Amino acid sequence: MINKLRLLTANAAATADELGLTERLVNTMVGLLGGFPAELVVFIVSLFPILECRGGMIAASLLGVDYWLALIISIIGNLLPIPFIFLFIEKIFNLMKKTKLLGKLVNKIESKAMSKSDKITKYKRWGLLIFVGIPLPGTGAWTGALIAVLLKLNLKDSVISIFFGVLMAAGIMSFVSYGLPWVVSLFA
């Protein structure tokens, strides 16, 4: 029991450190895009791997974007790159593998993604949905789509799982970024 508690504490600390990294990346992006409208900044942040909708919701909260608008923009921004990953990532990776430097990078990306694929392999669409939906470091729609392509999972099931996973992540990040008042406003 004590070992489980230590593991949970260590995981919580690692997640808090990574959330700090996400917040720092979001702050950097917001600073770089400071001249743009807040909604466009949220959209751009949501497009980026690593940040995705979790970063978009944090940016929206920092910039004072209305919750519902932030939610829609973050979800669209997070989902927009996914069809391109499904359509082109294998071709792009194959081209990159033909060069020494980029080939090493692709192998590193693929092995990193595949190291996270055990639950997805076991549970297929549900594993993919949970992988994308729980906003932890190294998870999300980008990595989920890459793993789905590498594992040659069913395209339709993968797209549906990623879509609902992004909705789940956006819901979780809504609470983290905007707090409890937005939940209360749903029932008011």
* Rounded Cα–Cα distance for residues 145 and 22 (Å): 20
CB 86 within 8 A of CB 159: yes
- Mean pLDDT value of segment 123-139: 90
Position 157 pLDDT exceeds 50? yes
Which candidate, 166, 143, 22, 11, places its Cα nearest to that of 89? Answer: 143
What is the DSSP secondary structure assignment for residue 50, as one 8-state letter? T
pLDDT at 183 (0 to 100) = 58
Instruction: Report how far residue 135's alpha carbon sits from residue 28's, in angstroms, rounded to the nearest whole number.
Output: 20
Q: What is the dihedral sign for C-alpha 25, 27, 32, 35?
A: positive
pTM attached to this predicted model: 0.79
Give 138's pLDDT tier (boundaries 50, 70, 90).
confident
Cα distance between residue 169 and residue 25, in whole Å: 18
Distance (Å, rounded) from C-alpha 112 to C-alpha 143?
9
Average confidence score pLDDT of the chain: 84
Look up residue 126 and give its two tokens: 């549900």
